[in-house]
Amino acid sequence: MELKRVVVTGLGAITPLGNTAKETWTNMVNGVSGAAPITHFDAAKFKTQFACEVKGFDPKDHFDRREMRTLDLFAQYAIVAANEAIADAKLDSEDIDNNMVGVIWGAGIGGINTFQAEVEGYAKGDGTPRFNPFFIPKMIADIAPGHISMKYGFRGPNFGTISACASSTNAIADAYNLIRLGKANAFVTGGSEAAINEAGLGGFSSMKAISTRNDDPKTASRPFDKGRDGFVMGEGGASIILEEYEHAKARGARIYCELVGAGMTADAHHLTAPHPEGLGAKRVMQGALSDNGIDPTEVDYINVHGTATPLGDVAETKAIKEVFGEHAYKLNISSTKSMTGHLLGAAGAVEAMACIMAINDGVVPPTINHFEDDPELDNALNLTFNKAQKRDVKVALSNTFGFGGHNASVVFKAL
């Protein structure tokens, strides 16, 4: 069968850099750091006391009192990002066949704030089991796409993807493949996460996965820098409307670009560490490029996983050099996690949005906080340090790699 083409027709975001897609992108291009001391709770006793929190978000601006009682923060972020993307794409039109619109949403953790609050409440009580009847519906990670579908009446395929930090890239990949197969005309896809609480911070801290640079939070996320000491936790979400090309064209939708490839692999190596030679990363990029026969030399920009962990940054650059050969030195490469922090399950959606906007605006966002070259890395690569660079971006690739060895990549191309 002839596979259908898939395009991007809407964007939405709520991130540590801004509460809309436009604000997020503007601050990303300007190299703004979203890191600051934690305000969600008192982190004074934690080894890490800062994160990239969403700022100026008041749920009362978006939800009534009853809705707020039924929504964990990660689901609130999901709905806010989806609302913006749906409005941007004009997907809530009466002319749309809602039976052919689906929602696939990624979250690595889901309602951890709800889980913590309910368990704390029980532990502090007299042992009598008093749990909120919304406990389970608020906590489960797949509830976000459920809420979005119920709000808009979208009755197409609906589910959540959970693959740690690759979750929302897997959501995008699944939506892409289902549209290609003719199973839906459009999808609301993306991801959200809200794990900056005692349990989330404590868990990552005990793994020694996150930075402890409490004296200078804004420069703490340092991908590819010699002094990198782990990622900075982030939160928020982003939504991307994917649509079958002829369907989008027929209704006169604005088209940002085309999604032309999605790859998925496993490292099959370690719980948290990447394959030292970047084997899974290499194969996932090759898989994404092969979907529509994109030659590696066509790629202009890679938004890398780039978490600022000592092992991960080395493995990913090795993989890039293997896949792209000499062309690796002609690419722009950047890690926007240096600004947003690591949004965990939502990271892929935010970074895919960065690729889409790089194609539309002809500018590559920077990897900020670079102070010293790492001799273990190939410093001849253009890692777009500290300042955005203008470039005519025709093809952009986004990488996400998750704990458990999950790898996912997507490729976007200008029409």
The one-character DSSP state at 395 is E
- The whole-angstrom distance between residue 317's C-alpha and the CA centroid of its chain comes to 20
CA distance 403 to 291: 25
Which residue from 263, 80, 82 is spatially nearest to 186, judged by alpha carbons? 82
- CA distances (Å), origin 244, targets 6, 13, 42, 117: 5, 22, 47, 42
**Is 270 considered catalytic here?**
no
Catalytic residue among 52, 147, 165, 275: 165
Catalytic residue among 305, 355, 370, 406: 305
In 125-244, alpha helices (H): 135-139, 143-152, 167-180, 198-206
Catalytic residue among 342, 355, 370, 406: 342
Which residue from 315, 246, 330 is spatially nearest to 282, judged by alpha carbons? 315
For 293, other C-beta atoms within 10 Å of its C-beta total 9
Which residue from 281, 299, 320 is spatially nearest to 405, judged by alpha carbons? 281
- Determine the 3-state secondary structure of 215 from DSSP: coil
CA distance 149 to 186: 12
Specify the DSSP element, H or E, that contains 10: strand 6-14
**Is 165 considered catalytic here?**
yes
- Determine the 3-state secondary structure of 95 from DSSP: coil
Which residue from 236, 208, 200 is spatially nearest to 54, judged by alpha carbons? 236
**Is 342 considered catalytic here?**
yes
CA dihedral (335, 338, 343, 347) in degrees, to 10, reads -10
Q: List the catalytic residues.
A: 165, 305, 342
